[in-house]
Amino acid sequence: MTRVDEIGIGGLGASRRRVEDARFIRGCGNYTDDIKLPGMLHMEVLRSPVAHARIKSIDTSAAWAIPGVRLVLTGEMAAQRNLAWMPTLSYDTQAVLATDKVRFQGQEVACVVADDPYTAKDGCEAIVVEYEQLPAIVNPTQALAPDAPLIRDDKEGQTDNVCYRWEVGDKAGTDRAFARADKVTRLKLHYPRSHPSPIECCGSIANYDPATGKLTVYMTSQAPHIIRAAVALVAELPEHLIRIVSPDIGGGFGNKVPVYPGYVCSILCSILLGKPVKWTEDKSGNLISTGFARDMYFDGELALREDGRILALRFHADTDQGAFFSDAQPSKFKIGLVHSAFACYDIPVGHITARGAYTNKAPGGVAYRCSFRVTEAMFFQERIIAAAAADLGMDPAEFRRVNLVRDDQFPYRTPFGFLTDSGQYRRCLDLGLDAIGYEDFLKDKEEARLRGRRLGIGISTMTEPLGAGNSREYDILGIKMFDSAELRVHPTGKAILRTGAKSQGQGHETTWAQIVSHELGIPAADVVVEEGDTDTAPFGMGTYASRSTPVAGAAVSMVSRKIRAKARKLAAHLLEVSEEDVEWELGRFFVRSAPNRGVTIQECAMAAYGNMPDGLEPGLENNAYYDPPNLTWPFACYLVIVEVDPETGVWDVLRVVAVDDCGVRINPMIVEGQITGGLTEAYAMSNMQFMTFDAEGNCVGSNYLDYLLPTAWETPGFELHEVVTPCPHHPIGAKGVGECAAVGGPAAFVNAVLDALSDTGVRNIDMPLLPDRVWEAITTGRDV
């Protein structure tokens, strides 16, 4: 593959500095809250202080009486506009504003619109809600108990707290394989609830113009076109009269995929008042009510042969969905892509069952740096793989080497029907082991143990399905999953590119320009990239599940190639030869038999507007929709060395080595940034970042004293390595990467701590591995 950057124009493979950073680090970003429209009013949401209660009455009279208050909206008023319930992007509906009952702490009960945000807050405080508190259910075990009170008594036909049941695989075949096993490893664990907590919270400015009937919504959305479809349903407005604009976004991490009541309320208030209405969520509102992820309980087994081969797998997962089922996920799968777990291992047969439980917690299961429950499943995978190696008395690296899919097995069909198409799994593992000095470490570990020091090493190897796409299998709200790009090359050879993706910090403005540069030879600096405005961007499904490179990035290549095809006609005209005699290299067409006779892409661009051959339309612009034939399957191997202090349970990370294969890297520096961010989250997940609820359903974590995020100070250094196995079906061979380290990383940290405790008989400590839990495990020899 030609690397256009050989001529220094910032093409494929260039570690080009992120162009968007120039405005971000100078404070010149344009976020939703920065936007001020003439006559704009401000909205504040009143949230329930309790997790479960019957609403006896809502008295809004004192709020209406406050000067400057323009509107006090309740669920009853929303119902009059057919807006009592809004679609989640999943199977459920969610109350926009609670009327009969509140079902989680932080649920939206009313909202107030006023001339300024402070008056709107005062208005909320003046609303008197009489609650009759009910017992709260805070975990699936309680919720799924036969005598548990019904949480969703608003749902017709709902007789228990089961949100969904789901099953996949070959049960009979799996049972037969287990009957033949020499050994069976069983592991139960919980992946705790957590929250992506982006710096910028959610927010919107809805601007309904009664004169034209047009609704413009500026909002923090990772998927503006999908939101437009949802808003069309919610607001009962025709889609062509709705414009969603996602300006700069201060981090998404999945938090900004779903539809939230705040968005819907600002839209309704703007329609009712005929004025722009701004809603800016505050930090505790964001932490208490939006974007919760994980909270999943696994109980599973691996059937093993004495020589280390895995014969079969089976597991059951219970997920805590919270009060409403608002997972953002391809609607074919009620539990997302949990069955993509174990895809990197050659396991002949498997069976998975799962249940979702309604509880009195905020809606959970939103895609937080994971594609649809993949993070939790991969964690379980790598934890039970480590436990199985220990049960067999086998080295965990060797156990993986025995079971990883071999290079000559691709394309490889997993027992659950996925087709993984490429990878060098053993090479990545071996590179990681070499880089960390595995054999030497094992000796050091034994010597250290003799001196009373507890060292441990953890490994995690994983592949995951990135690039939610292919219209045959996946859809959201009935809209199939593909993506798009539109490219306009101006007469001087400068260009503007728009896609249906939406960056929240991933650097698309930089990398998409690099793809254009690679395909057309236009310097990357001459390509401006725009995303996020449904009036101008082509239709697309947004950015999550690390789908942008696999799908929108591919569309960028495809549209560039269409432009190149037209430019070739222009070149032939300019060179006065037939098209067949024209060759292409590095931004230039030339005559095959006379390579010195050539024209640049910029000269072709000018010709498109000023010197067209007869019969060719003027202009040099086009669009492309890309429907990927398969997901992309990156691979990664993460290794972590820790030292555990047996006196206190405190553990320190001594080294982290990562080997990532995400195919061809468009911008290696950006890829490394993604891996560094993901590993930071993985580290945090393993020891500090978790959200708990007390027995009454109060969220313990609605501020940063209780909900801990890592800072640069405590984050360890990461040693990053690369392997490149091009994706066979992506036009430039790239695979997604944005989530890999966050998905695969946590198990490496936990496996390392458990390895340091290998002589204690402890098989599992649930995350977070806080010092007191580690200490308890050491001192009792029991799982915690």
Binding site for ligand MCN (CB under 6 A): 251-254, 369, 504-508, 511, 543-549, 553, 662-667, 670-671, 674, 677, 734-739
What is the chain's alpha carbon radius of gyration, rounded to the nearest angstrom?
27
Q: Which residue's Cβ has the minimum distance to ligand MCN? A: 738
Shortest CB 746 distance to ligand MCN, Å: 15
* Distance, CA of 172 to CA of 347 (rounded, Å): 15
Query: In terms of DSSP bridges, do strands 527-531 and 475-476 run parallel, antiparallel, or are they unpaired?
Result: unpaired
DSSP string, 413-472: E-TTS-EE----HHHHHHHHHHHHTHHHHHHHHHHHHHTT-EEEEEEEEEE--BS---TT
222 annotated active-site:
yes
Which residue, 254 or 697, is less far from ligand MCN as judged by CB?
Answer: 254
Which residues lie across from 194 on neighbouring strands? 293
Distance (Å, whole) CA 311 – CA 327: 32
Q: Is 369 labeled as catalytic in the residue annotation?
A: yes
Closest separation in Å from C-beta 369 to ligand MCN: 4
Question: Based on the number of CB atoms within 10 Å of its own CB, is 266 exposed (0-12), middle (13-18) or buried (19 or more)?
Answer: buried
User: Are the C-beta atoms of 369 and 464 separated by less than 8 Å?
Assistant: no
Separation between Cα atoms, residue 35 and residue 30, nearest integer Å? 7
Q: Name which of 272, 264, 213 is nearest 239 in CA terms.
A: 213
Length of the chain: 784
State the catalytic residue, choosing from 111, 344, 370, 699: 370
Active site residue 370: yes
Residue type, position 385, single letter? I
What is residue 45's three-state secondary structure?
strand
* Residue among 294, 739, 740, 763 flagged as catalytic: 739
Report the nearest approach of ligand MCN to the CB of residue 740 (Å): 8
Q: C-alpha dihedral over 415, 421, 425, 431, to 10 degrees?
A: -160
Output 428 or 591, the one with its CB closest to ligand MCN: 428
Our measurement of the distance from residue 578's CA atom to the centroid of its chain's CA atoms, rounded to an integer in Å, reads: 48
Q: Which is nearer to ligand MCN, 14 or 384 (CB)?
A: 14
Least distance (Å) from ligand MCN to the CB of residue 259?
A: 17
Nearer to ligand MCN, 339 or 730 (CB): 730
Query: Cβ closer to ligand MCN: 243 or 665?
Result: 665
Answer for the pair 22, 13: CB distance below 8 angstroms, yes or no: no
Is there a contact between 370 and 702 (Cβ–Cβ < 8 Å)? no
Nearest approach, Cβ of residue 714 and ligand MCN (Å): 20
Among residues 135 and 673, whose Cβ is nearest to ligand MCN?
Answer: 673
Task: Considering the complex, state which of residue 546 and residue 689 has its C-beta at the smaller distance from ligand MCN.
Answer: 546
Q: Which residues contact 147 (CB under 8 A, 6 or more apart)?
A: none
Establish whether 504 is a catalytic residue.
Answer: no
Q: 227 or 304: whose CB is closer to ligand MCN?
A: 227
Neighbours of 761 (CB within 10 A): 11
Which DSSP category does 193 fall into? E
List, as one string, the DSSP characters of 543-554.
S-TT-IIIIIIH
Q: Which is nearer to ligand MCN, 174 or 329 (CB)?
A: 329
Q: How far is the CB of 256 from ligand MCN (least distance, A)?
A: 8
* Smallest separation, CB 546 to ligand MCN (Å): 4
Q: Minimum distance between the CB of residue 560 and ligand MCN, rounded to whole angstroms?
A: 15
In this complex, which beta carbon is closest to ligand MCN, that of residue 254 or of residue 261? 254
What's the CA gap between 760 and 773, in Å, rounded? Answer: 14
Q: How do beta strands 349-358 and 588-591 pair?
A: unpaired
- Provide the 3-class DSSP secondary structure of residue 457: strand
Catalytic residue among 222, 424, 504, 689: 222
Q: Give me the long-range contacts of 97-101 (CB less than 8 A, separation at least 24).
A: 97/73, 97/261, 97/265, 98/48, 98/55, 99/55, 99/74, 99/75, 100/54, 100/55, 100/154, 101/52, 101/53, 101/54, 101/55, 101/134, 101/153, 101/154
Burial 656-687 (b: 16+ CB within 10 A, else e): bbbbbbbbbbbbeebbbebbebbbbbbbbbbb
Q: Residue 588's beta-bridge partner residues?
A: 585, 600
Closest distance of CB 633 from ligand MCN, Å: 12
Query: Given 18, 47, 294, 369, which residue is catalytic?
Result: 369
**Closest approach of ligand MCN to the CB of residue 250, in Å:** 8
Active site amino acids: 222, 369-370, 739
